Amino acid sequence: MDKLYIQGGTPLKGKVQISGAKNSAVALIPATILAESTITIDNLPNISDVRVFADLLREIGGTVELREGELTVDPSAMTAVPLPNGSVKKLRASYYLMGAMLGRFGRAAVGLPGGCNLGPRPIDQHIKGFEALGATVSNDHGAIFLKADELRGARIYLDVVSVGATINIMLAAVRAKGQTIIENAAKEPEIIDVATLLSSMGAKIKGAGTDVIRIEGVDKLNGCRHTIIPDRIESGTFMIAAAASKGQVILDNVIPKHLESLSSKLREIGVTIQEQDDQLYIDASQADFQAVDIKTLVHPGFPTDLQQPMTTLLTQAVGTSIVTDTIYSARFKHVDELRRMGANIKVEGRSAIIYGATPLQGTKVTASDLRAGAALVIAGLISTGVTEISGVEHIDRGYEDLVAKLQELGAEVWRNLPAPATEPAEMDKAIES
């Protein structure tokens, strides 16, 4: 298994190019199933989740070409091949195959999703939506079976604001007969991105990005070309890494508005941030970090996906910070690892209480999920000595070329190879110490 090694202590400096959004990509790729002619999606991130999804489309008969961030899918020969096992289990977002295949074929069999372990991640709201549209849904041996002779528009109130359920219901409803109204819908930018693609395909959707989405079903959807929005979570990760390392970094290809909740928290902590069109400039070279409290909320609140990287930064802030995750109760697996690096953090219920500032020391740590991995990489960047990170496959699921991008910003980070300036024996000593 691959490992990452980081020799900490270098402030990040320079410019980084942000990739297309992972959480859009994993919804847009299954959305191509709904079309009857060729679709091209560009600005795709080069991450393992995208490659797995491309393979899944091939498995159901699609002609798929994935090259240099561009995916071309001819979905005309696809059929409702059951996918109870195999690659579907590797992806959390494989649940989007349910909505897309139900919309196109009136049936689907999809293994229950895998992906990051963040505690309970039910899909009851997705199922409630499919049933309201007229599907029968059963759960057998770890797979969900869906069937509908005809999908009919319905009024659906989500009991929990869910990104996945909102998108999945949209995917099924664009081909249903009549009008669907999703109330208490999620408002994340990725939902607008999916609605934009579906509209370019010929769907009739109003209100994406608000909490009421209205969809008028159509009989047929066509191919088109679509460019994915920039990844706000990758952007946020680099903003936090730049800040924590006391660096000066320009992020290119960002939508600053998507990052307002993070920018305002970083400013409160003491970081200077300037916005310009599709760029953000982060300057923490002179910053003295102050403790802040953070509560994750649905968009436009502070994103749960940035809570873990932020915890690392807050170990460097003077005073007591409280980070509360209202979305995922068990998203604190990075805390034990940060403690092993010298952080003083206590988890109580849904909150992490961080007492700062504490210096961090490099050691051997394990990423339990994607954003825990990001939190540990940032910890490595600001630690003394060398940090060795296992569980890199989680990081590969969601960050394109993380090592190369950090190296370009001056970080001493490498994958599997010994450090250029450090002999392996010395490195082992540093990691053991």
Which residues, numbered 14-43, are part of the site for ligand EPU (CB under 6 A)? 23, 26
Of 347-386, which residues contact ligand EPU (CB under 6 A)? 370-371
User: Which residue's Cβ lies closest to ligand EPU?
Assistant: 164
Shortest Å, Cβ 334 to ligand EPU: 12
Residues 6+ apart with CB under 8 A from 22: 45, 47, 49, 50, 231, 233, 234, 397, 398
Q: Is 92 in the site for ligand EPU (CB under 6 A)?
A: yes
The encoded tokens of residue 18 equal 């942000």
User: Which of 33, 116, 123, 170 is an active site residue?
Assistant: 116
d(CA 70, CA 64): 10
Query: What are phi and psi for residue 148, nearest 5 degrees?
Result: -145, 130
* Chain residues 259-278 in contact with ligand EPU, contact rule CB under 6 A: none
Say if residues 377 and 402 touch (Cβ distance below 8 Å). Answer: yes
Does 93 engage in binding with ligand EPU (CB under 6 A)? yes
Q: Which residues are within 8 A (CB) of 257 and not within 5 positions of it... i.e. 6 or more apart?
A: none
CB 323 within 8 A of CB 307: yes
Tokens of 132: 């309201």
Cβ neighbours of residue 122 under 8 Å, at least 6 residues apart? none
Asked if 201 and 224 touch (Cβ cutoff 8 Å), the reply is yes
Nearer to ligand EPU, 179 or 326 (CB): 326
Closer residue to ligand EPU, CB minimum distance, 174 or 372? 372
Interface residue with ligand EPU, options 116, 143, 172, 197 (CB under 6 A):
116
Binding residues for ligand EPU restricted to 302-341, rule: CB under 6 A: 303-305, 327-328
Q: Does 183 bind ligand EPU (CB under 6 A)?
A: no
**Is 168 near ligand EPU (CB under 6 A)?**
no
Please report whether residue 163 would count as binding ligand EPU according to CB under 6 A.
yes
Tokens encoding 253: 């290809």
Quote the CA–CA distance of 99 and 321 in Å, as a whole number. 40
Please give the backbone phi and psi of residue 149, each rounded to the nearest 5 degrees, phi first: -70, -40
First to last CA, the chain: 23
- Determine, following the binding rule CB under 6 A, whether residue 295 of this chain makes contact with ligand EPU: no
- In the bound state with ligand EPU, the residue whose beta carbon lies nearer, of 287 and 367, is 367
Closest CA to 118 of 320, 270, 296: 296
Considering only 3, 13, 107, 121, the residue that binds ligand EPU (CB under 6 A) is: 121
Q: Does 232 bind ligand EPU (CB under 6 A)?
A: no
Cis, bond preceding 300 (omega within 30 deg of 0):
yes
**Least distance (Å) from ligand EPU to the CB of residue 91?**
8
Span of 54-62, 161-169, 223-231, 267-275 interacting with ligand EPU by CB under 6 A? 161-169
Which stretch, 69-77, 155-163, 268-276, 418-426, contacts ligand EPU (CB under 6 A)?
155-163
CA distances from 351 to 34, 341, 358 (A): 41, 20, 19
Residue 122 interacts with ligand EPU (CB under 6 A): yes or no: yes
Contact region for ligand EPU (CB under 6 A) — 54-62, 116-124, 195-203, 387-395?
A: 116-124
What is the identity of the amino acid at 353? I
Stretch near ligand EPU under the rule CB under 6 A, chosen from 119-127, 133-141, 211-219, 413-421: 119-127
- For residues 235 and 261, give the distance between their C-alpha atoms in angstroms, rounded to a whole number: 13
Q: Tell me which residue of 324, 276, 330 sits closest to 297, measured CA to CA.
A: 324
Q: Does 53 bind ligand EPU (CB under 6 A)?
A: no
Q: How far is the CB of 308 from ligand EPU (least distance, A)?
A: 9
Number of residues forming the site for ligand EPU (CB under 6 A): 27
The least CB distance from residue 184 to ligand EPU, in Å, is: 11
β pairing state of 179-183 and 294-296:
unpaired
Partners of 399 in the beta sheet?
A: none
Establish whether 224 is a catalytic residue: no
Could you list the active site residues?
Answer: 116
Binding site for ligand EPU (CB under 6 A): 23, 26, 92-93, 116, 120-126, 160, 162-165, 186, 233, 303-305, 327-328, 370-371, 398
